[in-house]
Every structure is written in structure tokens, then in C-alpha cells.
Chains A and B, each alone.
Chain A
Amino acid sequence: MCYDVAIIGAGVVGALTARALSKYKLKIALLEAQNDVAMGATKANSAIVHAGFDALPGTLKAKFNVLGCEMMPKVCKDLSVPYKNNGSLVVAFSEEEMETVQKLYDRGIANGVPQMSILNKDELKALEPNLADNVCGALRAESAGIVCPYELTIAATENAVTNGAECIRNCKVEAIDFADGVFTLKTTAGDIQAKYVIDAAGVHSDDIARMIGDESVNIVVRRGEYFILDRAVGNMVSHTIFQCPTKMGKGILVSPTVDGNLLIGPTAEEIDDKDDVSTTLAGLHDVKVFSTKSCPAVSTRNAITSFSGNRAHPVTDDFILGPSKVNPQFIHASGIESPGLSSAPALGEYLAKVVVDAIGGVEEKEDFDGTRKEVFRFRHATDEERSAAIAKNPAYGRIICRCETVTEGEIIDAIRAPAGARDVDGVKRRTRAGMGRCQGGFCGSKVVEILARELGCPINEITKFGNGSNILFDKTK
């Protein structure tokens, strides 16, 4: 079988592109090297929907950020993904930084960012009383928001699969041949043929491009480290708080998350090993120190966990989008660093259009449904909804994760969903089981049991995140 389109990389861009393409009568394959979708930069970033004032006017980043930010609320609503329009503040600590704030404001105007204003100290402190006393003012952007990037990706993948796309995991592309107008992708899941290829492989997108002889893409990997703090301090700020940007990025932010936690980070460090997502003592130390500059009361004593993510920084400093000069049937979606998540809904539509236009004469499906049914969440349900759900399925009455109040029914749903969870981290990202303060201490072993039962394998075959990340060895003596 030959696919019309193969998308390499099931991150947020790949998944939203697959969903946008699934509107059409096309055979689509979404290929993912890992055991689950959203395993690269998508899994570990600031989870921010930027307003769009950072990128220089005229860049692809500026264009797609503003478009994506505008599209995000509806995409999240359609896919039943939590999104919150909490607004952002770029805080200045000196008159010099107030000039930067003014520059960002002007840039925002040029980029078409709506609802911006410059606040003085009093206005700022009235809005966010927990900010440091030495703030001078801030740029406020009311259109900014927060979203859960992996939930968005999981939902978009589910929706694409429901609409006929295929998601193939553990499918790492190792070589690409091209003959008679068709690509043959040599993958760890066998050969896959496709007429068009979209390279959304994140930090590896330059490696993929080189497989067709396209040397134009060059990615530098920048690692960012973060802490997630307990819900007890989740409302320390209501806006996403940025410091003034530097050459390496937007600096250390303090932000609420859609799940009610507080996120602080990231650092920015160029590294050689593209897949090294270790945290470092030095990096975590920096996050600790610099986050208290904005919010003195932030303390990692409330840390639930720390993590790091690798961003694909293009040496050209802008997104690389569109057909390759080497082969026009190979479409770049490379260098998608910040504001990649914010841009993703617009990038998905754009990339789909590039392919559809190139193929020509593609019909839309009559039965396309771009909505995803709301997932039952016990912790958000009312007593009446809970009783009704348990009456239908008693598994919704059995709490597995105590900290986040996740039921067995929700975990089973997550495993049985289209492109559902296959490992412990996959269950965690889909249900939040194990994401609370005990970090899976109690529920981890129960999640392993449920996964083994649902997937029909012994518990020692269950992994944390695929590959060799098994949790258990052999039986005891």
C-alpha cells in the first residue's frame, strides 16, 4: 500500500497536520519513532500560547504565532483539551527594561497582536500582587493563554485516527529512497511508501532531510529545564510571567498550568546529544534562582518534579516550512521551536494546504468530524455525573490515583482510545494518574497491572515509556 502522505513525527505539529489532512480523501500515515505520540519537544516545554510579540515582523514565526494564538481556543474546544486564556506579562525590572517592553509592544503591533497594553508598577502589582517589589512595569498581552501540549497532541492524533489516518508508533525512519514519484521510508516498523512526506521530526528533522540529500536544514538542540510545583502554590500568579527576553530565549517564566500547578523554567543550553533530556544540578539551580527574581515566594520546596525538554533551534532562527528544493514532494516542517506550540494549529492547516494543493483535485470527506468527545474526568465531574458514570461503568467508581483522583475507568479509556496509551507514562499523560504529589508511589503498580491486563501481557513487559524502559525483571525465586 502506498500512502498519499506520511508525516514523520507525532509531535504537536505532526498530529495537528494529520488532523487537518484527515478532512480530505487521502491515505495518511503519522509515523512516530517512540512508543507514544508527543514524546519530543511537545512533551516538555512551557505550555504557553504566546500572543505573538516576540518574533520579528515578517518572519514565519510572527505570522504563524499570531494566527495560531487566535485559532487555539477553538481547536482546544473542538478537541476537548483544556485551554485557558490567562494572558501574559513581560515584567521589567529597570527603566532600561521598560524600553524593551516598549519595543516588544511596537513589535506586537507590527505583528498584528491584539489586546496589548503597557502597565505601570501599580497597575502591575494590582494585577499580580505576588510579583517582586522591584518591578517597574510590564507588557500585558491579553490574548496569550496556556494549554497542555501533550493532551493537545494526543487529542489531535485521536481525532485524526478517528477520521481515517493511521498512527504508526515505534516507527523510526532510518533511510528514505525515492523512485517513480514515490518515497520508500525504511523504518524500524518496515518499509512504508508515500507520495508526499512531511518532515515534522523535531530535533531530528535535519537528519531526516539529509536522507533525501537536502542539506539546507540545520538544527541546534537547546535544552530547557523546568520544575513543576504543587497545586498548593498553583495560584501564586494568574498570568504567565515572563522576564525580558535575551538572545537565548524568553528567559525564566513563572506560569500557572491548565492543571492548576505552577511551572517555572526554562533554562536554555545548547547540547550535542539530541535525545539527552537529563536535568542538571546547575540548570535546576538556575531555574530556582531566576524564578524568584519575578516571584520571591516561589520555592522548589513545593516541587513535585523537574524535567527537561529539547527544542529544535534552526540556525536561521525562523521556522523552515514548505517544499524542499531537492524534492518538492518532501515538505519541511522544521525548526519548530518557540512559538511552535502556539503556532501549531496554524502550521497544521498550512502544511495540509501545501500538500493538498500540490496533489490537486483532492476532495473533502463528507463525514469528517473535527470534534473529539469529552473524556470523562472523575475529578472534574459533579456528584450527579459521577453517579451516572459509575452506574454505566462501575470502573469509574474505583479510584486508582489518589492524588489526582483518577479512576480505573479513565485509565481503561486511555488505553482503549484510538492510538491509546501503551506504557505507564502514556497513561499518566492521558489521565494524570501518577502526576500528583506522590508521583505514582501508590498507583504506579496498579497502572502496570491494568496495562498488562488490557494489553494482554505479563506485567514485566510493561514499560515506562517504551524501548527498554521496563519496570520489572523476572519473577522472584
Chain B
Amino acid sequence: MMNYDLVVVGGGPAGMAAALKAKECGVESIIILERAETLGGILEQCIHSGFGLTYFKEELSGPEYAARFIDMVEKTDIAVKTDTMVLDIDDNNLVTAVNKKDGLLKIQAKAIVLAMGCRERPRGALEIAGSRCSGIMTAGTAQKYVNLDGYMPGKKVVILGSGDIGLIMARRMTLEGAEVKVVCELMPFSGGLNRNIVQCLNDYNIPLRLSTTVVECHGKDRLEGVTSAQVDEHLQPIESTKEYIECDTLMLSVGLIPENELTKNVGIAIDRITNGAVVDEMRQTDHKGVFAAGNVLHVHDLVDYVTMESQLAGQGAAEYILNGEKETVYVNSTTGNGVRYLVPQRVNIKNGNDVKLYFRVGKIFKNAKVVLECDGKVISSKKKVKLAPGEMENVVIPADVLAGMNENSTIVVRVEE
């Protein structure tokens, strides 16, 4: 058995940032366990630019953004095991992992940061009728085939879902010579970033059809076409709007799901909306010494925010390892009108610092206000020209407001139209 102060599960942007921050805070022994062959996570296949504008104040590609962190990790004595899959975490923070070289690994950790990222929602969850032919894949899988393996997964493409990966792949496939016929989005708005709609669809004249879905796939061996249909206000397909679209590929970009199988096995409480753990402002879960950050906690829009959140988790883990448990008085954060979720879900009012609450709205709001209310008092009210579900928002609870709270206090974030 090995012993490490901190075990970080996942070597993507979240895991690396958490490990680096913990190192900076003085944690001596840290190991990152990564299931892929290299560090970097999903960024390795995101060869487009647009990363780092917030954190580095410059525009980088995914691999460039990852490389900056990989370089920093390599300059430290943080241990890294790639091609290593974590199988289990027990009640006492004993981690079981496996790889080809070491076989089964047992690692006793003082603290753990969960940074496993997320996965794409597959077809099965969607109830698209029809054939189970080849040519139906998630946008992320298609991205890997094109960018890492160098093969075309399709020539005539329909994309269902306007999540960011779908939008990025619409442009990518077009640049590689494929014909992207249409992007269909079930909702009356896109779940992707506005800049991606402009740069990946509009710039290439790829139509985005809102309130439209794919109801059936056709083709015996390879996909030959799909039937699309507009949906009514209950999201049910309207028969008279059915349309056959010839294509050999259907790419799905219909949502990301935090990968929390390990988290659930430990018995950590999960937020029903985010599908990630319930955490406090340092991203500690309800299981002592276990922290979570990045897309495993809630799906982020920008990797820059993943980095910043994971630094908090790294710092939290370091404080836990070096100083033990802190005095805590928790107050839950509550979602008000228009707010789908809030992370963190609870705040330690003894924290002593400003606390940033991240959230997403449930629909598009124009000229609305984001209101933070503590103990029934409006703490802040910020005007927003536009709020969209595709973009993460945040509000800050000032340290002095927290200091004035008690265990019966309330924190509410809501949108005022």
C-alpha cells in the first residue's frame, strides 16, 4: 500500500489545477491518477482556440491550455500515473486503482480531489426511434476520430443538440470537407455559448433550427437519413412538421453528465440538478476530506472557470491536510426565480473570505437583474442585458455579509425580470 497526502482522481484541467494549488499551499506528497494515456483530459482533442481568455488573458487552443498546466506539474514533484483507472474509494479514503504496470494499487489518502470530468449523453437516453445502424455518435467521439485519429466519421452530417461540442464539430467537419446540413435543437434556445453560434454556425451558413428534434434514424447498415420534426411547447414532436433529411452521420450534442459513479459509491450526496456532489465553498463534499471540482461537480462553459474552481478545491484540500478540520457553520444557498442551480450548495459562514456562487439560468432572460438576497436583505442587484442557459453566471457574497450571518441565515439568488 502507498500513502499520499492528496490523491487527485483525474488529470484534466481540474485535477492538474487542484494538485498544483495544493502543492503551492504546502502539501508534500500528491499523486494524480489519470485514466487516459496522457495528462490533459478532454482538452487534448479540443484543437480549436478560445481557451484561456479569462485565466491567461490570451487565446489558446485546448492542447496549449493543457500544456501550460502539464509543464507546471512536471516542474513539481507531484507524482503522476497515467493509463490508471480508479476503481473504488472507501469510507477511510483508501483508493483502489489499476494499471498495466503496477497492477492493483492501494493508496491511502489524507484527502482526495475528485476531478473525473463528465461524459456525453448518449442516444439511448433520447428515445430516437429507428435503426441501430452505424453513423450515430456523440460529437465528442466524432471530435476524437477527426482530431486525434485523423479519420472522417461522416460526410453528410446532421447534428442534434446545440451544445458547445456540437457547434465546434459543425465547424470542424465543414473545414474537413463534410457537408453539415443542419443543427437541430430541441429547446427554443441553444445550450451553447453565443460566440460558438456566431463563429461555428453563422460564419459557415449552417442553419440552426430551434424547437426541432430528430425523431427517427433510417438505414440498415450505415445511416442513410433522419426524420426531424418541430416540437410543441411540451417538447412533443408535431406530426405535420416531419421532414426527411438525407445524411450518413448523426452527431449528438445533447448534454453532458458529470461522471460521478465513484462519488456515488462513496455515498457522497449528489445534487439532483447538477448531477454533481453537494459541496461547500472550498468544494468539500459531505464526506470529510473528499473534494470535487471541475465538470465532475457541474458542467462548466469555460475551462478557465474549471481551473479557478479547482484551485479552490486544491486549497481546501491543502488546508484540510495541513490544519485538520475547521470550525464550520453551514448555510445552504437557495435557488430563486429563474436560477437552475447554485454551486456551492452550502457556505461556511466562518470562512472569512468573499464567496462566489456560480449558477445557470433555466431560460433566456433579457434586461433582467440578478439579485442576491441574504436574510431577506438585498445584498446586490446586477443588471444583465442577457442571461442564457449556455453561459455560467456568478454572484459574490462579501466576507462581511457572511460574518454577520448565523446558522439560521438564508442565501437566495434569483432573477428579476
The chain A residues found within 8 Å of chain B, CB to CB, are 228, 275, 277-281, 283-284, 300, 303-307, 383, 386-387, 390-391, 394-395, 397-399, 402-403, 405, 437-442, 444-445, 449, 459-460, 463-465, 467-477
B147 nearest CB across to chain A (Å)? 9
The chain B residues found within 8 Å of chain A, CB to CB, are 35, 83, 85, 87, 96, 98-104, 119-120, 122-125, 127, 129-135, 137-138, 140-141, 144-146, 149-155, 176-177, 215-218, 220-222, 237, 259, 261
- On whether A307 and B132 interact (CB within 8 A), knowing A395-B100, A441-B122, the answer reads yes
Q: Contacts of B140 on A, CB cut-off 8 Å?
A: 441
Whether the pair A280, B222 counts as a contact (CB closer than 8 A) is no
- On whether A476 and B221 interact (CB within 8 A), knowing A441-B138, A445-B145, the answer reads no
- On whether A439 and B104 interact (CB within 8 A), knowing A279-B130, A402-B35, A477-B177, the answer reads no
B103 nearest CB across to chain A (Å)? 4
Whether the pair A444, B137 counts as a contact (CB closer than 8 A) is yes
Whether the pair B127, A471 counts as a contact (CB closer than 8 A) is no
Bound-state CA distance A398–B102 (Å) is: 11
Q: Contacts of B155 on A, CB cut-off 8 Å?
A: 473
Whether the pair A281, B131 counts as a contact (CB closer than 8 A) is no
Partner of B124, one of A439, A465, A474: A439
- On whether A304 and B124 interact (CB within 8 A), knowing A469-B133, A472-B145, the answer reads yes
Chain B: CB-nearest residue to A442: B119
Bound-state CA distance A399–B104 (Å) is: 12
Whether the pair A397, B101 counts as a contact (CB closer than 8 A) is yes
Whether the pair A469, B222 counts as a contact (CB closer than 8 A) is yes
Partner of A383, one of B104, B133, B135: B104
- On whether A399 and B98 interact (CB within 8 A), knowing A281-B215, A303-B124, A477-B176, the answer reads yes
Whether the pair B151, A472 counts as a contact (CB closer than 8 A) is yes
Whether the pair A306, B124 counts as a contact (CB closer than 8 A) is yes
Whether the pair A475, B152 counts as a contact (CB closer than 8 A) is yes
Chain A: CB-nearest residue to B102: A397
Whether the pair A390, B124 counts as a contact (CB closer than 8 A) is no
Knowing that A397-B104, A398-B100, A442-B119 are A-B contacts, what are 15 other residue pairs whose CB atoms are under 8 Å apart, sorted by A's residue number? A284-B127, A305-B123, A394-B101, A397-B100, A399-B98, A402-B259, A438-B119, A439-B123, A440-B141, A441-B122, A445-B144, A465-B221, A471-B134, A471-B153, A472-B145
Chain A: CB-nearest residue to B85: A399
Q: Contacts of A465 on B, CB cut-off 8 Å?
A: 134, 221
Q: Contacts of A463 on B, CB cut-off 8 Å?
A: 134, 221
Bound-state CA distance A445–B153 (Å) is: 11
Q: Contacts of B98 on A, CB cut-off 8 Å?
A: 386, 390, 397, 399
Q: Contacts of B144 on A, CB cut-off 8 Å?
A: 445
Q: Contacts of B134 on A, CB cut-off 8 Å?
A: 463-465, 469-471
Chain A: CB-nearest residue to B96: A383
Bound-state CA distance A386–B154 (Å) is: 39
Report which residue of A283, A437, A449 has the largest number of chain B beta carbons within 10 angstroms of its beta carbon.
Answer: A437
Whether the pair A469, B221 counts as a contact (CB closer than 8 A) is yes
Bound-state CA distance A438–B261 (Å) is: 12
Whether the pair A470, B152 counts as a contact (CB closer than 8 A) is no
Bound-state CA distance A397–B218 (Å) is: 39
Chain A: CB-nearest residue to B98: A397
Q: Contacts of B129 on A, CB cut-off 8 Å?
A: 278-281, 283-284, 306
Chain A: CB-nearest residue to B88: A383
Bound-state CA distance A303–B121 (Å) is: 11
Q: What are the 7 A-B residue pairs with the smallest beta carbon separation, nearest first?
A: A305-B124, A439-B122, A468-B221, A464-B134, A399-B85, A394-B100, A469-B134
| Contacts across chains A and B counted by CB atoms under 8 Å | 138
Chain A: CB-nearest residue to B122: A439
Bound-state CA distance A442–B261 (Å) is: 15
- On whether A475 and B103 interact (CB within 8 A), knowing A278-B129, A303-B125, A469-B222, the answer reads no
Bound-state CA distance A442–B218 (Å) is: 24
Bound-state CA distance A228–B85 (Å) is: 27
The 28 listed contacts between A and B (C-beta, < 8 Å) are A277-B132, A280-B130, A281-B127, A281-B129, A284-B129, A300-B127, A304-B124, A305-B123, A306-B124, A386-B103, A390-B104, A394-B100, A395-B100, A397-B101, A398-B99, A399-B35, A402-B261, A405-B87, A438-B122, A468-B221, A470-B134, A470-B222, A471-B137, A472-B149, A475-B150, A475-B151, A476-B150, A477-B176
- On whether A390 and B133 interact (CB within 8 A), knowing A469-B221, A469-B222, A476-B146, the answer reads no
Bound-state CA distance A302–B314 (Å) is: 34
Chain A: CB-nearest residue to B147: A476
- On whether A476 and B176 interact (CB within 8 A), knowing A383-B104, A386-B104, A402-B35, the answer reads yes
Bound-state CA distance A445–B36 (Å) is: 13
Chain A: CB-nearest residue to B153: A472
Whether the pair B120, A303 counts as a contact (CB closer than 8 A) is no
- On whether A281 and B124 interact (CB within 8 A), knowing A387-B104, A472-B151, A476-B150, the answer reads no
Chain A: CB-nearest residue to B215: A281
B385 nearest CB across to chain A (Å)? 36
A413 nearest CB across to chain B (Å)? 16
Q: Contacts of B151 on A, CB cut-off 8 Å?
A: 459-460, 472-476
Chain A: CB-nearest residue to B126: A303
A203 nearest CB across to chain B (Å)? 15
Bound-state CA distance A383–B1 (Å) is: 13
Q: Contacts of A472 on B, CB cut-off 8 Å?
A: 145, 149, 151-153
Q: Contacts of A307 on B, CB cut-off 8 Å?
A: 132
Bound-state CA distance A460–B146 (Å) is: 12
Chain A: CB-nearest residue to B106: A383
Q: Contacts of A475 on B, CB cut-off 8 Å?
A: 150-152
Chain B: CB-nearest residue to A288: B127
A302 nearest CB across to chain B (Å)? 9
Chain B: CB-nearest residue to A438: B119
Q: Contacts of B133 on A, CB cut-off 8 Å?
A: 464, 469
Chain A: CB-nearest residue to B36: A442
Q: Contacts of B176 on A, CB cut-off 8 Å?
A: 476-477
- On whether A438 and B120 interact (CB within 8 A), knowing A386-B98, A390-B100, the answer reads yes
Q: Contacts of B216 on A, CB cut-off 8 Å?
A: 278, 281
Report which residue of A280, A383, A472 has the largest number of chain B beta carbons within 10 angstroms of its beta carbon.
Answer: A472
Bound-state CA distance A476–B142 (Å) is: 12
A153 nearest CB across to chain B (Å)? 19
B163 nearest CB across to chain A (Å)? 13
Partner of B152, one of A278, A442, A474: A474
Bound-state CA distance A386–B217 (Å) is: 41
A6 nearest CB across to chain B (Å)? 26
Q: Contacts of B119 on A, CB cut-off 8 Å?
A: 438, 441-442
Q: Contacts of B83 on A, CB cut-off 8 Å?
A: 398
Q: Contacts of B237 on A, CB cut-off 8 Å?
A: 281
Q: Contacts of B220 on A, CB cut-off 8 Å?
A: 275, 467
B362 nearest CB across to chain A (Å)? 19
Bound-state CA distance A477–B127 (Å) is: 35
Whether the pair A278, B149 counts as a contact (CB closer than 8 A) is no
Bound-state CA distance A278–B217 (Å) is: 8
